[in-house]
Structure 1
Amino acid sequence: MQFTKLLATAAVALGLATTAMAQDKTKVGFVYVGPVGDGGWTYEHNQGRLAVEEHFGDKVETVFVESVPEGPDAERVMTQMALEGADLIFTTSFGYMDPTINVAQKFPNVKFEHATGYKRADNVSTYSARFYEGRAIQGHIAGKMTKSNIVGYIGSYPIPEVIRGINSAFIHARKANPDVQFKIVWAYTWFDPAKEADAAKVLIEQGADVVLQHTDSTAPQAAAQAAGNVITFGQASDMGEYAPMPRVSSIIDNWAPYYIARTQAVIDGTWESTDTWDGIAPGMVGIGEISDAVPADVKAEALALKDAIAKGEYHPFTGPLNKQDGSAWLADGEVADDGTLLGMNFYVEGIEGDIPQ
C-alpha cells in the first residue's frame, strides 16, 4: 500500500513538473500567406522558424499555419494562436496588417511582429527587408543581358514595396542599357502558380527575354525554362533548381537572425515595439550565386554594385532622378529618404503604363 502511494505521489510530481516545463517554454507562432513548400517567400520564413527551433531547442515551441488568406480568416488564425498560449506571433504578409493590429488590441500581453507593414502598437513591431537593394543588382544584370531590350516584370499587388522594386530594377537596367523597356503584368496574388505562369508567358510573348517577379512560386522559372533563352531571377529564395539557366541569380530573404533575436528578447523580457528595415549589409537581403550564364565582366560589375551598397557607398535611389511625369524628384547626388521610399506610389521616368489604383 505504501509503495502504491509513493508511485502515485511520484506520478503527480512528474505531471506537475511536466506542466511547469510546458509553461516555461516560450511559444512562438507564425502565420503564412502561402504554403511552406512554395519555394519562395513562405519557404524562407519557415526556414527562419526552423532556425528558431534549432537555436533554442527545448526552451521554445513553434507553431505555424500556412496558406492563410489576407483578411478576416487571418484574424481568426491569429486569435486562435493567442488563445492557445502563443507569447510571440509573426504575421508574414502585408495584408495581415489590420488583422494583426485588431488581434493585438485583444491580447495586450502577446507580442506581435508584422512583416512589411507600417502600423505599430505597444505590442506590435514591424519588420521588412530592403529588397530594392537586390533589385538594383538584378536590374543591372538584366540590362546587360537582354537582347530584345524588353524586360518583363510580374508584380503581385501595387503597394510601395513592389513599386520600389520595379523602380530600382528599372533605374539600374536603364543605366546598364539606355534602350531597355519594362513591361509590367500585375498578377494580383502573392502565390498562385497558374496565374504566375500565365503572367510570365504573356511577357515572353510580348518579347521579354528577361523576366523578374515579385510573386512567390517558381512557376515563372518553369515557364521561362520551357520557352528557352529567357533569363529569370529567384525571388525571396534562391530557386537554385533552375540554375544556371534560366535563373541566373536571386534575392534571398534571410529572416533567421531576426526571428532568433526577437524570440530571445521575449525570453529575456526586453522586447519592445520597433521598426526594422535591413538590407544587404546586415544580411537580411542576400544575393544568390550569380551563375556562369552571366558573362564574367557583368558578374564582376554586379558584385561590385552589391559591395558598394553593403558598404553604404552607394544608394540605389540616388539622383538625378525624375518621376514618370517628368517632374524633378532627386537632384544630382541626392538620396531618397526612407519616408518617401516607404510610401512610394509613383514610377520613375521612363517606365510606361499606369500604376493600378
Structure 2
Amino acid sequence: MNRRTLLATVAAATIVSTAAWADDAVTAGFIFIGPVGDGGWTYEHNQGRLAVEEAYGDKVKTVYQENVPESADAERAITQMALAGADIIFTTSFGYMDPTLAVAAKFPNVKFEHATGYKQADNVATYSARFYEGRAVQGHIAGNMTKTNKIGYIASFPIPEVIRGINAAYIHAKEVNPDVEFSVVWAYTWFDPAKEADAARALIENGADVVLQHTDSTAPQAAAKEAGNVITFGQASDMADYGPMPRVSSIIDNWGPYYVDRVGAVMDGTWTSGNTWDGIAPGMVGIGEISDAVPAEVKASALALKDSIASGEYHTFTGPLKKQDGSDWLADGETADDGTLAGMNFYVEGITADIPN
C-alpha cells in the first residue's frame, strides 16, 4: 500500500544544511514524500529537522531529500543517503517501510527510523503519532457546527491510520449530533493539490458544510474558502492562514522533540530500536487554536475533551461501540487495545461508506 505518493518526480539531489558543523558532527538524514513547503505533513517533519539543528548546533549536520515517491526511487534515495555518510536516517512516510528495511540490512551501522510503519530491526525503529485523538476533537466540533448534517472526509489511502481517523471523527460527531452523516472520498494520494481540491469541491457540492482531510496540502482549505460557509480543519500543520474561517482548528504534528531525542541518542551512544506511538498527552499531537468562528460553548467542550484525552481519563475509542456490520466490538466502558487500533480495518456502526480494497 502506498503512503503519501507524490505525482512529482523525485528531487535530483539531497539538500544539505547550510550551517557550519564540527568535523565529528553526527549526520541526520530525512527522506520526505512531499516538498518542505507543502504546508502540512512534510512541512512539520522539516520543522523537526530544524529543531535538531537548533538543539545541537555544529555538533550535527542535517541533510534531506524531498519529493521522494514510494517506489524504487525511495530505496535509491535512502541508499544514497547512507552511502553519503548519514549516521541516522528518518524515512517519513508509510510507503517507505520495506525500502527502509532493505537498505538497513545493507548498512548495519546506520540507524534508521521509519514514520508510521510497523516493521522493525536491530537498526530500524518505528514511530508515529496518535492522530486519531485529534480527529476526535475535530469530530466533536464538526458535529456541533454542521447545519446540513453532512460532513465530508478526504481520505488518502485505506490503511489503519486513516480508517482510525475516520472512525474517531465520526464517533465524536455522532455523539453530539445523532443526525450527522459522513461521506468519504478516497483521493489515493497524500499530496496532490489538484486532486485534493476536486475532492473537497465534490463533497461540498454534495451538501457537506464541514470538510475534514487526511491529505497534506492546503488545497481543500482554499476550495472551502472559495465556496463560503464551509468549515475545515488544518491537517498535520496549523494552516492558520485560512483562519478564522474556513479553518476553525487543526491537528498539529510536533516531531521536533522526538527528533532531538533520537539524534541525541545516536550522539551519546544510547540509541536502541523500538516503537513510539505518542498522542496529545506527550505533545506529539497538538490541537491548533480554535477560532472565534466556533461558539464559545463548543470551544469549551472541545477543549474539555482534549484535556480528558490528555489526562487519560477518557479513551477515544470507548464502548459501547459496534462495527459497521452490527457486530459487537466494545462493551459499555471497554476501551480499544493498541493491537486492534494498529490494525484497524473496519468502520464503526453508522458509517455507510465502503473501505476500498
With the shorter chain as reference, the TM-score category is over 0.9
Code of the aligned partner of 1:64 = Y
Q: CA RMSD in A?
A: 0.7
> 1:91-240 maps to which residues of 2 (within 5 A)?
91-240=91-240
Deviation readout 1:134-157 (Å, 9 max, x if unpaired) = 000000000000000000000000
Code of the aligned partner of 1:348 = V
Question: In the comparison of the two structures, how many residue pairs are matched?
Answer: 337
Unaligned 5+ residue runs, structure 1? 1-19
Confirm or deny that 1:69 pairs with 2:83.
Answer: no
Q: Distance in 2 between matches of 1:176 and 1:35?
A: 37
Once the two structures are TM-superposed, the CA of residue 21 in structure 1 deviates from its matched residue by 4.2
User: Identity rate of aligned residues, in percent?
Assistant: 79
Which residue is equivalent to 2:288? Answer: 288
Unaligned 5+ residue runs, structure 2? 1-20
Deviation readout 1:145-188 (Å, 9 max, x if unpaired) = 00000000000000000000000000000001000000000000
Code of the aligned partner of 1:277 = W
Once the two structures are TM-superposed, the CA of residue 354 in structure 1 deviates from its matched residue by 1.0
Q: Distance in 1 between matches of 2:208 and 2:97?
A: 34
Q: Structure 2 vs 1, CA of residues 21 and 232 (structure 1 numbering), >3 Å: closer, same or farther?
A: closer
Which residue is equivalent to 1:88? Answer: 88
Bigger fraction of residues in helix: 1
> 1:299-338 maps to which residues of 2 (within 5 A)?
299-338=299-338
| Runs of 4+ residues over 4 Å off in structure 1 | none
Deviation readout 1:9-65 (Å, 9 max, x if unpaired) = xxxxxxxxxxx942x110000000000000000000000000100110000000000
TM-score by length of 2: 0.94
TM-score by length of 1: 0.94
Q: Distance in 1 between matches of 2:22 and 2:255?
A: 28
Q: Distance in 2 between matches of 1:185 and 1:234?
A: 17
Which residue is equivalent to 2:36? Answer: 36
> 1:248-287 maps to which residues of 2 (within 5 A)?
248-287=248-287
SS in 2 for 1:30: strand
Q: Structure 2 vs 1, CA of residues 119 and 296 (structure 1 numbering), >3 Å: closer, same or farther?
A: same
Once the two structures are TM-superposed, the CA of residue 353 in structure 1 deviates from its matched residue by 1.8
Does the 8 Å CA contact 2:22/2:58 hold for their aligned counterparts?
Answer: no
Does the 8 Å CA contact 2:183/2:203 hold for their aligned counterparts?
Answer: yes
Does the 8 Å CA contact 2:89/2:112 hold for their aligned counterparts?
Answer: yes
Code of the aligned partner of 2:320 = P
SS in 2 for 1:142: helix
Q: Distance in 2 between matches of 1:178 and 1:71?
A: 43
SS in 1 for 2:224: helix
